[in-house]
Amino acid sequence: MIGIDICSISRFSNMKNLDKFLKRYFTNLNIDYILKTGNRDETIAGIFSLKEAFVKAIGTGFGNISPIDVEIIHNFSGKPDLIIHNEIIKKIEDLSCSVSHDSDYAIAVVDVKFLNISINTKNALECKNLILNRKDDGHKGDFGKVGIIGGSIGMCGSVDLCAKASLRTGSGLVYNICPNSISDILQIKAVENIVLPISDDNKGCFTFRYIDEIIDKISNLDAIAIGCGLGRNEENAKILEADAHDRRGIFPLSVIKESISCWDISSGPGKLIVGDGVEDLFYQGYDELDGQQRVNVGNFGMTYDVIIHTCGKGQYRLYFNPLGGIYEGVFTIKEKSLPLVYEVKGRRRYFGEKTIRDTWPMGVWHAGQDLHLHFVIAGATYLPFQFLLVPIDA
């Protein structure tokens, strides 16, 4: 990319507060060079023109990059070159410049060659293959109806963004189901999404009195999302009743577990069970919606950091075993090296049949080193599950 700038020399001859201008737009190195070469207006105009030509070449102007970030240096013969003190330099492969003076003008040319940054499209193509081709004669009513239930006074942005995200990922019809008090705001923001207001007696939030209106609006939808922008109030606690597992709005918590004893590889297979309520107790916490203390039956949504001490010599295989049924989730596992990520996919045929024989391999590890496991117990999955440590020669 080439940037060109022409600058009047006389503008600096007549400029008031030239010293302030130089301190604002020129580095100390540039100012020293101007003074050492006779403090000429031609030099000032040439350096400033080079700065302008550079930001034109990269197509940004002085916005994300400051004039001070563009520094001009000169070799022994006076030929200029550029030094860039900005992150943009990481995207530039080569940079050249030239400046000329004629009568009352300085003319600068900067040539910027950007790096060829390759983009890995493999994952994007894999995702694309999961999307079914749409019929040529289809219309938006054929491609799924989604309801976004949320919003309250002062919290309108998240529901609008949620609706736009749903549309961008292919949903045919998207409805913002919101309190009537904020419906006008969402109507202004909405272009493709449809706003369905719910009576709220001007309270600015959903009220339990009109829950039948919400139920009526979602009766013919294919999917709903609820929660964004709701806020915390007693009415929401009534609408979102605690489920059978008491894990509605459950507290966030990180659990750190460390094995008391060291598993010796010579003693045979070992195991660690999670989510059974006996060896791995269920935790109590504060329900943010109604202020009640509740037990998280399953510890869903909680972050686990587990350290298993191992001893002896040799290698062992680690397996994931779903004792409760189908499970899907992501686990990060490491010894001393960088962590490896394992994704358990319950969609595999027959996986998750509540049997000790149904396992998912999670790599080969070394006895004598601590094994670190990091994961979040995924919601809508079956518990308990366990990790099996099986010596390779067993």
- The string of pLDDT tens digits covering residues 170-207 is 899 999 999 999 999 999 888 889 999 999 999 999 99
Angle in degrees, 0-180, between the axes of helices 41-58 and 18-25, rounded to the nearest 10: 40
Q: What's the Rg (C-alpha) of the chain?
A: 32
pLDDT digits (tens, 9 = 90+) for 320-344: 998 888 888 889 999 877 677 877 8
In whole angstroms, what is the distance from residue 275 CA to residue 329 CA?
14
Percent of the chain with pLDDT over 90: 43
pLDDT digits (tens, 9 = 90+) for 236-251: 777 777 655 555 555 6
Q: What is this structure's pTM? A: 0.47
Triad 381, 383, 386: Cα angle to 5°: 120
Percent of the chain with pLDDT over 70: 88
Q: Which conformational region is residue 308 in: left (phi greater than 0), alpha (psi within -120 to 50 degrees), or beta?
A: beta
pLDDT digits (tens, 9 = 90+) for 245-269: 555 555 667 788 888 889 999 999 9
pLDDT > 70? residue 345:
yes
User: Would you name the residues annotated as active-site residues?
Assistant: 56, 101
pLDDT > 80? residue 74:
yes
pLDDT > 60? residue 394:
no
Residue 263: CB partners within 8 Å, gap ≥ 6? 270, 308, 309, 310, 311, 389
pLDDT > 70? residue 346:
no
In whole angstroms, what is the distance from residue 19 CA to residue 108 CA?
23
In this prediction, residue 154 carries a pLDDT of 86
In whole angstroms, what is the distance from residue 174 CA to residue 186 CA?
13
Average pLDDT, the chain: 85
Residues β-bridged to residue 361: 319
Higher pLDDT, 292 or 120: 292
pLDDT digits (tens, 9 = 90+) for 92-148: 989 999 999 988 999 999 999 988 766 566 666 776 676 677 788 888 888 889 999
In this prediction, residue 243 carries a pLDDT of 58
